[in-house]
Structure 1
Amino acid sequence: MNITHQNIDDVNAVITVDLAPEDYNPQVDLIIKDQAKKAKLPGFRPGMVPVGHIRRTYGKSILFDEINKIVNDKIASYIGENKLEVLGQPLPIDNETDASTYNWDYADTFNFKYEIGIAPEFEVPFSAETEFTAYDIKADAKTLEERVKNLRRSYGKMTNPETSEEGDVLYATLKQDKEDGIEKTTSVRTDLIEDAKIKKSLIGLKSDDTVKIDVKKAFKVADLARILGITEEEAENLDVTKFDLTVKNINRLEESEINQEFFDKLFPAGEVTSEEEFTKKVTEEVENLFKQNSDQKLRNDIYTFGMEKVDVKFPDEFLKRWLKATNPKITDEELEEGFADFINNLKWTIIENRIITGNNLEVKYDEVVNLAKERIYSQIKMYNMNDEPTDEQLNQYAVQLLQDREQANRLFEEAKALKVFDNLKQTVKLKSKKIDYDKFEKLDK
């Protein structure tokens, strides 16, 4: 057997495999003998089917399968031994020497050619001289005020006032202004009203009051469809948009008072006993969340820098053929539309992989489990700040989650990205800068 590869250019090459009878016949003979022992055929006792009968009946099929297996295994070994950083998978080159030209009589010398794409050469563009800003985001007064308001509303109570105010939910009947028109009794959130004049007309209403509104001006199509119980297409094409809105009831969410009962709903009993302590706790919680925003900003800056610095060519035509071969249903238009994003993802994946290889980094199973536990814990705390799952419970949830292959792959890739990010934070120069959240939000606008 002889395997060679020849570079066409920096990112394209051809692998050639030559097989002589002595390279494949021993393996083919073993398979045929094994099939003879296992075959159950009419006229033969189990295990007593002659080898010659199997060879005559199934030999060419076995030969074809084994040669494919041998070639694929040897190409994979060759790529690994020669440390070729291939993209996609080798694609067979169609030429005059194809399967139909061989006799398949165990005496052929086979010649196969495969096209491969090779990752471009480049230096990873991060060093101790590369500088980035790590933002230390502080909670400004407006952000804290909004967070406290949301917490008070989350633990507030529903009341039914006599007169409507801005932000109330009206339980009302909407009746289309035409004979046999739509009539629906439903909840109408006044905060969803887009037209200022219509929103103002719904303030100061009492039970049984009626106002006429233009629902197309009042609501987005999706909200209108939900309110009226119709499809978005039907909402878009309403012939009469004037409706009578008749109030049945007024619902208002009263914010919770800031007192000990409220504190104990949010935190372990007795941990917070004053408004000052409460404000401090909320500030810590908000600023801990901001650390994620800061990290994401730094990751985006690092990604943008790396993508701009690594200006290389890829084997585009090969990759398009490979994508078509592995996704036969994809259209040419879909391929062209998504190809730029595919190349960007591929470029960053190669950058990440070279950082991992160059620094001997490794993603361990325990790290993926711990990441799964973190994500599960965050979800639980999002819905109930006071709920503290045990480590054993989190382990059980994480193991269950990782049994889903798609979720496991996603978490592995996320763990790999975090490992690369942590490594880069140790490699590059980071300049810390304090900034209020409202100013941070405007940085990339």
Structure 2
Amino acid sequence: MNITQEKIDNLNAVLKVNIEPADYEARVEKAIKDHAKKAKMPGFRPGMVPPSHIKKMYGKSILVDEVNTLLSDTLNNYISEQKLEVLGQPLPKLDDKQEYNWDFADNFEFNYEIGLAPEFNIDFSSKDKLTQYIIKIDDETLAERVKNIRRSYGKMTNPDVSAEDDVLYVQLTQLSPDGSVFDGGISNTTSVRLEQIKDEKIKKSLTGVKKNDEITLDIQKAYGNDAPKVAAILGIDESEAADLKSNFKLTVKNVNRLEESDLNQEFFDKLFGAGVVTDEAGFTAKITEELEMMMNQDAERRLQNDIYTYSIDKVQFELPDDFLKRWLKATNEKLTDEELEGGYKDFAQNLKWTLIENKIIKDNGIEIKYEEVFAAAKQSLDAQFRMYSPSPLTEEQLGQYTVQYLQNKENANKVFDEVKALKTIDHIKSVVTLDKKEIPYNEFKELK
């Protein structure tokens, strides 16, 4: 058996594999004998079918299987022994037109294209500068958060007249162009949250209304031509909502208002535990602290994304794009040419980042230990459980769930990749210059 490499350029090569009868004869004979021992055929006792009979009936298919297995093993071993950094997987050359008899005496030649990882250098230093945002909570964000928390612990009332934050329980009836009720048209009873109305003039027209009031509503204008929202309000399909031109008669059935909870000790104790907060100033400080903690997680995600983008732009190298596109098509039969072209840029960027990650990890001797993967998975699961349960799991329970979660190979690989990415980003952060900048949250949201 002989395998050679023909270098096309720095990113592409062809592997030629020659297989002779001596390379596969023993494997095929063994496979035929093993098959004979297990075969159940009429006229023969179980396990007593002669190998010659198996060879006559199934020999070619067994030969094909064994040659394919030998070919796969040969390619993988060669790539490993030669320490070739390949991208994707070897692809059979499409222009190979050789045909074989598969008569146990053929010499086989197979040609495979491979895409090679590029060679590149990474030279991050203190001269590379990125902004690290420190978010401060602005008055508007704080007031909105306080309002939402107080409403979460408040009570529902039914005032006579609506205000701008109320919810109207209404009947919506489709109208004809002349303003009359459209016979057989859309009709739905639903709730309308005034704060979700996009058009300020329409929102104002719905403020100050009372039970049984009727208003003509341009529903598309009210929701800014948001088809999913219009569909949900009317109880129709999104496609129908997107094409809808009609106005609707809105009849008020009821006015609902969620009153804000009083800022008293009972409210503070519900939120933070008995005696932790005792006055409004302490409440405001606590909410500010929690908000800044959440917002700085947003800032960290922003920094990580900026490092990713900066790295992709700074570390320049080419990929074997034509090969990778063929490989993607070969391994995704349903992938259309349009989908391939539309998604290839993102695929190539993610692949570039993976190559940068691998080089940083290798060049700097960075280790990723099981304990770190376990801790990351445990933290993620803990956060998920807390979303659905008010009482946290015990350490023992959380540990058991984490072990079970990581027994799934796909889950384990996912968390491993997350830890690898974080370690790579931490290394880059330790090398480049991070210019800290305080910024109000409302300005941070507007950043591109």
Q: Which residue of 2 aligns with 1:222?
A: 228
Displacement, 1:59?
1.9
Displacement, 1:404?
6.0
* 3-state DSSP of counterpart to 1:83: coil
Normalised TM-score (structure 2): 0.90
Q: Which residue of 2 aligns with 1:391?
A: 395
CA RMSD, 1 decimal: 2.4
Amino acid in the other structure paired with 2:40: K
Q: Which residue of 2 aligns with 1:375?
A: 380
Matches within 5 A, 1:191-206: 191-206=195-210
Contact 1:16 1:114 in 2 (8 A): yes
Amino acid in the other structure paired with 1:148: V
Q: 346, 356, 363: which one pairs with 2:361?
A: 356
Contact 2:32 2:55 in 1 (8 A): yes
Q: Is 1:271 matched with 2:269? A: no
Amino acid in the other structure paired with 1:121: E
* 3-state DSSP of counterpart to 1:148: helix
Q: Is 1:178 matched with 2:154? A: no
Q: Which residue of 1 aligns with 2:60?
A: 60
| Cα distance between partner residues in 2 of 1:303 and 1:96 | 41
Contact 1:371 1:415 in 2 (8 A): yes
Q: Is 1:7 matched with 2:7? A: yes
Q: Extract unaligned runs of 5+ from structure 1.
A: none
Q: Deviations over 1:39-89 (max 9, x none)?
A: 222222222222222222222221211111111111111111111110111
Matches within 5 A, 1:19-30: 19-30=19-30
Q: Which residue of 1 aligns with 2:437?
A: 433
* 3-state DSSP of counterpart to 2:87: strand
Amino acid in the other structure paired with 2:287: V
Q: Deviations over 1:295-329 (max 9, x none)?
A: 22221221122111222221121111111111122
Cα 1:383–1:156 shift into 2, 3 Å: farther
Matches within 5 A, 1:234-273: 234-238=240-244, 240-243=246-249, 245-273=250-278
Contact 1:24 1:66 in 2 (8 A): yes
Q: Deviations over 1:379-435 (max 9, x none)?
A: 454567x64332233334445555666555443332221222223223333333333
| Cα distance between partner residues in 1 of 2:433 and 2:373 | 28
Q: Deviations over 1:112-148 (max 9, x none)?
A: 2111000111112424543333222222332222222
Count residues with an aligned counterpart: 440
Q: 420, 423, 428: which one pairs with 1:424?
A: 428
Q: Which residue of 2 aligns with 1:290?
A: 295
| Cα distance between partner residues in 1 of 2:128 and 2:344 | 30
Cα 1:434–1:213 shift into 2, 3 Å: closer
* 3-state DSSP of counterpart to 2:134: strand
Q: Extract unaligned runs of 5+ from structure 2.
A: 175-179
Q: 154, 160, 164: which one pairs with 2:152?
A: 154
| Cα distance between partner residues in 2 of 1:433 and 1:190 | 37
Amino acid in the other structure paired with 1:377: D
| Cα distance between partner residues in 1 of 2:340 and 2:245 | 41
| Cα distance between partner residues in 2 of 1:402 and 1:154 | 37
| Cα distance between partner residues in 2 of 1:96 and 1:202 | 72
| Cα distance between partner residues in 2 of 1:213 and 1:441 | 32
Q: Which moved more, 1:403-412 or 1:320-329?
A: 403-412
Q: Which moved more, 1:88-97 or 1:76-85?
A: 88-97
Give the % identical residues. Answer: 56
* 3-state DSSP of counterpart to 2:16: strand
| Cα distance between partner residues in 2 of 1:236 and 1:313 | 43
Q: Which residue of 2 aligns with 1:415?
A: 419
| Cα distance between partner residues in 2 of 1:388 and 1:267 | 15
* 3-state DSSP of counterpart to 1:167: coil
Amino acid in the other structure paired with 2:356: I
* 3-state DSSP of counterpart to 2:204: helix
| Cα distance between partner residues in 2 of 1:69 and 1:62 | 11
Contact 1:37 1:49 in 2 (8 A): yes
Q: Which moved more, 1:44-53 or 1:433-442?
A: 433-442
| Cα distance between partner residues in 1 of 2:74 and 2:405 | 37
Cα 1:221–1:91 shift into 2, 3 Å: closer
Cα 1:146–1:114 shift into 2, 3 Å: same
* 3-state DSSP of counterpart to 1:299: helix
Displacement, 1:237?
4.0
Normalised TM-score (structure 1): 0.90
Q: Deviations over 1:327-385 (max 9, x none)?
A: 1222222222222222111111111122222233344444334323323333454567x
Amino acid in the other structure paired with 1:284: E
Amino acid in the other structure paired with 2:233: I
| Cα distance between partner residues in 2 of 1:13 and 1:147 | 59
Q: Which moved more, 1:191-200 or 1:306-315?
A: 191-200
* 3-state DSSP of counterpart to 1:111: strand
| Cα distance between partner residues in 2 of 1:231 and 1:156 | 34
| Cα distance between partner residues in 2 of 1:151 and 1:383 | 18
Q: Which moved more, 1:122-131 or 1:303-312?
A: 122-131
Displacement, 1:270?
2.2
Amino acid in the other structure paired with 2:264: N
Displacement, 1:440?
3.1
